Amino acid sequence: MIFFATVHGASTLFVWGISHHIQDEIWRWQRKGRIYLAGELALVTGIVIWITSLPQIRRKKFEFFYYAHHLYIVFLLFFLFHAGDQHFYMVFPGIFLFGLDKLFRIIQSRPETCILSARVHPNRAIEVILPKDPSLMYTPTSTIYMKIPSMSNFQRHPFSITSSSKVEDHTMSIIVKSEGGWTSSLYEMIRTELDSNTDCMSCIPATIEGPYGPASLNFLRWGKRT
């Protein structure tokens, strides 16, 4: 989508340039018809979202990637001004399903649980033990989204489940590697908690969304796995 939007914007700027109207058209906010400036702002916003989605940024600066993607609200607003309501109806079903998915995910993650225990591993990694319902089943490499309200009310980070639902009935575990700001804060919080309470660890409130599992176990086709 970003590719075709960029081609559309670049070709429009090219036409304005060869007709010597680019200075007049590029800043216009028309009262009727297509608003060119809104389209330009929507394109710039979309490019920013795309750039922050690149693996080099997403993996190392997940918080930046996460917050930058909330610019989709700005993108949709300027897209509406630029394309008009007739074209907006074409994308409204997708926006409606997206909003419905957001609502269901919020409802699903509303019940608050807590981190039962944790173990510190080398290389600034921690194993986090969470409670689960015995009836909850999931496939290997399934993903959960975890939020720690005491750290942030907005950030939910994805983690792969390292335990098996067929072995552990009442708990599941994940490995958290201290990489960015959020995971480093969680690492320091748990390490401090373990250092101050040698007998048992106090409950750290958390909300869990998921698990979301793969449709098939494609990783089983490989001879070696790490």
Q: Are residues 205 and 152 in the same domain?
A: yes
Q: Does 226 fall in a domain?
A: no
* Assigned domain for 223 exists: no
Largest pairwise CA distance in the chain: 77
What's the chain's average pLDDT?
82
Tens of pLDDT, residue by residue over 7-61, are 777 777 777 677 767 777 677 777 776 777 888 898 899 999 999 999 888 888 8
- Percent of the chain residues past pLDDT 90, beyond the cut: 17
Q: What is the average pLDDT across 154-171?
A: 88
Instruction: Provide the number of structural domains found in the chain.
Output: 2
The model's pLDDT over 109-132, given as tens digits with 9 standing for 90+, comes to 777 888 988 988 888 899 999 998
pLDDT for residue 126: 93
Per-residue pLDDT at 29: 74
**28 backbone dihedrals φ, ψ, rounded to 5°:** -80, 135
Q: What is the pTM of this model?
A: 0.67
Residue among 100, 98, 99, 80 nearest 90 (CA):
80
The 157-160 sheet, strands edge to edge: 112-115, 204-212, 143-147, 157-160
Instruction: Say what the pLDDT of residue 173 is.
Output: 93
Domain boundary among 56, 82, 108: 108
- CATH value at residue 189: 2.40.30.10
124 and 68 share one domain: no
Among residues 108, 135, 163, which one ends one of the domains?
108
Shared domain for 199 and 124, answered yes or no, is yes
101/140 same-domain check: no
Per-residue model confidence (pLDDT) at position 95: 86
The parent domain of residue 56 ranges over 2-108
